[in-house]
């Protein structure tokens, strides 16, 4: 199975950005771990700080499922929500932190409704949980 793991803005800073919230492991290091744990599946990774680039990547038809952490776009990107709504494969939204324990604006996800499930607050393990549930 080919699974697209797609991250939104500032998630390229994982490992250094607010480690008390997001942890100290980089996404590159965590991807190595995921690839080792799921060797029979192809994990495609994409990250961008640009909304349109994320949408363009999601619209490519080269994967069977999506694990998406939209980052700040979670809270206001109706364009990403619409894109996800039109993708007819399994989609799981994840958040490293528990968005419901954060600032008020972070408690609302406009993209979640377009996904099959949401995983929030398990740290980087959320990606692994999403992959396990897809497989």
Specify the DSSP element, H or E, that contains 52.
helix 51-58
Residue 116 annotated as part of some ligand binding site? no
Query: Could you say which of 22, 30, 45, 100 is catalytic?
Result: 22
Residue 96 annotated as part of some ligand binding site? yes
For tokens 């393990």, name the residue.
Answer: 125
CA separation for the pair 124, 113 (Å, rounded): 22
Residue 61 annotated as part of some ligand binding site? no
How long, in residues, is the chain?
135
CA separation for the pair 23, 29 (Å, rounded): 12
For tokens 């989609």, name the residue.
Answer: 91
Query: Could you say which of 41, 95, 100, 127 is catalytic?
Result: 95
Residue 102 annotated as part of some ligand binding site? no
Is residue 41 part of the annotated active site? The answer reads no
Binding site: what residues are annotated? Answer: 69, 75, 82, 96-97, 106
Residue ranges of the annotated binding site for substrate are: 69, 75, 82, 96-97, 106
Active-site annotation, residues: 22, 95
């Amino acid at each position: 199975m080919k699974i697209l793991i797609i991250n939104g803005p500032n998630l390229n800073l994982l490992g250094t950005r607010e480690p008390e919230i997001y942890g100290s492991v980089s996404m590159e290091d965590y991807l190595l771990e995921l690839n080792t744990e799921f060797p029979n599946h192809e994990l495609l990774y994409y990250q961008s700080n640009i909304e349109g680039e994320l949408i363009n990547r999601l619209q490519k038809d080269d994967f069977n499922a999506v694990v998406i952490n939209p980052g700040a776009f979670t809270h206001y990107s109706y364009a990403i929500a619409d894109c996800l709504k039109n993708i007819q494969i399994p989609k799981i939204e994840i958040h490293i932190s528990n968005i419901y324990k954060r600032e008020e604006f972070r408690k609302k996800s406009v993209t979640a409704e377009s996904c099959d499930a949401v995983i929030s607050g398990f740290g980087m393990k959320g990606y692994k949980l999403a992959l396990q549930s897809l497989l």
